[in-house]
Amino acid sequence: MAIAGIGVDVVDLARFERAVARTPRLRERLFAESERELPLRSLAGRFAAKEALIKALGESTGIRWHDMEVVSNGHGDPSFRLSGAAAALAAGRAIARLHLTMSHDAGVAIAMVVAETDG
């Protein structure tokens, strides 16, 4: 295994909430249908996760927000379901695994992504 990229992003919760209140269509533009009804702090964490993923992949050419869906397993552990350009970019970079962690505290949401190859 080799680390192909690392990304981290922080979102100010109050600022994110104001942006969503000003522009309600942000929910549809930034989040997959399965994500949209989550509480705003969870959405902020998912937004941070998507930004961190772009950083870990090293570019965002052609990627749409819906190409990066944050999902959770039965234990609540987050991961990505990639599609479209995000999946193609990850495959092109031989990314075998993506590790995602998210947290919320003191008015911020933070996410970190580590991209690994098998090489």
Q: Which of 49, 61, 53 is nearest to 111 (CA)?
A: 49
pTM (predicted TM-score): 0.95
Residue with structure tokens 């950083």? 55
How confident is the model over 77-117, as pLDDT tens digits? 999 999 999 999 999 999 999 999 999 999 999 999 999 99
Instruction: Please give the structure tokens belonging to residue 110.
Output: 């933070």
Mean pLDDT along residues 36-57: 96
Domains of the chain: residue spans and CATH: 2-117 (3.90.470.20)
The β-bridge partners of 72 are 78
Contact 20, 53 (CB under 8 A): no
Alpha-carbon span 82 to 45, nearest angstrom: 17
Per-residue model confidence (pLDDT) at position 1: 86
Cβ neighbours of residue 37 closer than 8 Å, sequence gap 6 or more = none
Alpha-carbon span 91 to 94, nearest angstrom: 5
